[in-house]
Structure 1
Amino acid sequence: MENNKLMPLSIIILAISIVFGSIWIGNSLKEIEKQSIYADSQGNDVLALDEAAKYLKISEGDLLYLIREENLGIKYVQMNDQYIFSKEALHEWLQSGQIEVRR
């Protein structure tokens, strides 16, 4: 009998928890989106080898071939075994249109 009296109270507490939890999650997602938009607007265009290859839609091996074997003017910085690219420089290189590589 006592359990039946507590059931409506439990349902109300559960509903309130769901509402506040949803609001909290929604606000957190909005904050994450703002941060990612802010990072993009700050010119965060530094790419590692794998990211540069994805940006160019080629394999990492093909990108390494282009920068090692071909003198195509791809700008990069090499530090130890890591390659660092600028997204803007890669975009400009693509836009130059003077690229024809055959293996």
Structure 2
Amino acid sequence: MRKIFNDEEFIKKAYNAVIKGNAMPIAILILGLCLVFSANSLGKAMIKVADSYELNGQAGANGMYAIAQSNSYMGNAINNQSNNNLTSNSTNNKTMLDFVDTYRYLNISEDDLNKIVASPDTKIPYIKISGKYVFNKKALDKWLETARVEVK
């Protein structure tokens, strides 16, 4: 098969047309204008989005900060959801729980579980082995059915 045109020849002609001709300055000018207009429209859109958010009761409070906060809240919500899924999966398969798994399973803070364990009135079922608490998951479920505990 015969080539329609020589590749080297075509590249040289295209190069000469762009570099030696007026095409390069025109292309640079068009690119610059596109960048200016796109930056302007993006800035206006960000301001509109920021003004639509309400941050701590102050509408339109520092637009960029509001956008950053909303992104941070969304990221934290996604991370918390994935952490909850991992926690529930890891505790669902166990029958015996350590202290960390227990407060996660009960969906309470570590301090609250410390207070519950320290209080003799709560009667939470646990075993203490070498200074470490071990909780039976079924016993915790049974305790939850009848327990009336207020943590302050």
Instruction: Give the TM-score range, shorter chain.
Output: 0.5 to 0.7
* Counterpart Cα distance in 2 of 1:100 and 1:76: 16
Are 2:127 and 2:133, in contact at CA under 8 Å, matched by a contact in 1?
Answer: yes
Q: Percent identity?
A: 28
| Residue in 2 that maps onto 1:63 | 113
Which structure 2 residue ranges, 5 or more long, are not aligned?
1-88
Residue aligning to 2:150: 101
Equivalent in the alignment of 1:83 = 133
Whether the 8 Å contact between 2:116 and 2:151 is mirrored in structure 1 is no
Q: Aligned partners of 2:139, 2:123: CA distance in 1, in Å? A: 10
Partner of 1:33: none
Distance 1:81 1:70 in 2: 17
Distance 2:110 2:122 in 1: 16
Q: 1:101 corresponds to which letter in structure 2?
A: E
Q: Deviations over 1:60-89 (max 9, x none)?
A: 221111011242111100012210000001
Aligned length: 62
How big is the shift at 1:102?
Answer: 4.2
Give the equivalent residue in structure 1 for 2:70: none
Paired position in structure 2 for 1:21: none
In structure 2, do the counterparts of structure 1 residues 52 and 71 end up closer, same or farther at CA, with 3 Å as the change threshold? same
- Which whole-Å CA distance do the structure 2 matches of 1:70 and 1:51 have between them? 21
- Cα RMSD (Å): 2.1
Structure 1: 5+ residue stretches without partners: 1-35
Write out the 4+ residue segments of structure 1 that deviate beyond 2 Å after TM superposition: none
Q: Please, what TM-score do these two structures have when normalized by structure 2?
A: 0.37
